[in-house]
Structure 1
């Protein structure tokens, strides 16, 4: 157990008891506990680099708490438990819980998923992610880029992850005027080399 992570398990939350069960379960599988993105994250040395690689994390939402497998797309979902949060999530998959009992009732199955995720890391496997150019570019944003070469250049200088973030953000609304509004708000950030959430 990593003392830097204790606050997460000690804070009052509707999932506090479930979090404790998940922590015990994951640590029994031989993973190293660390804190990333403000939540407990568990790592294992990558067979590719030897450096600690993210295997699974524990997080919670209003309706459920979950184990999130960073390379869940590579796991065999033998018990049909893995959930893709949204259609745009490429690698990660969740196993969701709405009670502590669900965790207790499924311990051997959950351990099997965790051990499978460790084997994925040992083997150095990677999820083949879609390239940024494979994401749809909203017509409204394409027009802005065509009309403003400096904006096009600034967008192309962003990291692929930041580009994808903007493309997904601009594509979400159904109405064109909402897309345009999002684009106009984002332009100064793009020129500053910042991503959507930087």
Structure 2
């Protein structure tokens, strides 16, 4: 796909649906959405937050709603493009005759209102569990100040230390690593802090 720099250029490249895309564009441009080109497609945002986009393919054209999952979809017009897509929904058309301007506009206005209300899918951040190696656990049981210093570290730094010990193949190496990192943990520094500050 050729890089597109303007909405007009996008419509020209997709001339087989040019009239239909222009009609969708005109409907959307009656609202306060800002028009731009992102990912080589016409995209519309509200205060810098993407609300929708229009697109053309070989046999159909569509309106993509970035957080379409929140639309009521009373007309049953929206489809999920892929199983793993969480928020994105598509209103698909095969010909210009399928466009009902007032229905499209009502969906666009609802999408704008949802954006105003802050309805959006937030990316999931899975918290990694900190698995304490037995060698470290033994030290905690015999040295409470060492355990307290470890608990005071961020989960990321705790994980780095645990993985550092666990990755050693031999038990002797694990204990050698533990002796080496003990002063660092007591000082409250992370395993790789000296490299991060360079």
TM-score (norm 2): 0.58
Out of 17, 20, 28, the position equivalent to 2:19 is: 17
In the alignment, which residue of structure 2 is the partner of 1:94?
90
CA drift of 1:12 comes to 4.9
Residue in structure 2 matched with residue 71 of structure 1 by the alignment: 67
Asked whether 1:59 is paired with 2:55, we answer yes
Instruction: Give 1:21 deviation, angstroms.
Output: 0.7
Q: Which has the higher contact order (CA 8 A, sep 6+)?
A: 1
Shift of 1:132: 5.9
Instruction: Give the gaps of 5 or more residues in structure 1.
Output: 46-51, 134-148, 150-198
Contact map agreement 2:14 2:56 (CA 8 A) in 1:
no
Q: 1:7 to 1:79 in 2, by over 3 A?
A: same
- Could you give the per-residue CA deviations for residues 54-91 of structure 1, whole angstroms, max 9, x where no partner exists? 11101111221000000001111111011000101111
**Aligned residue in 2 for 1:80:** 76
> Which one has the largest radius of gyration?
2
Instruction: Verify: 1:109 aligned to 2:103, yes or no.
Output: yes
SS of the equivalent of 1:57 reads strand
4+ residue runs of structure 1 moved beyond 2 angstroms? 10-13, 128-133
Gap regions ≥5 residues in structure 2: 128-162, 164-198
Aligned Cα root-mean-square deviation (Å): 1.9
- What is the CA distance between 1:124 and its match in structure 2? 1.4
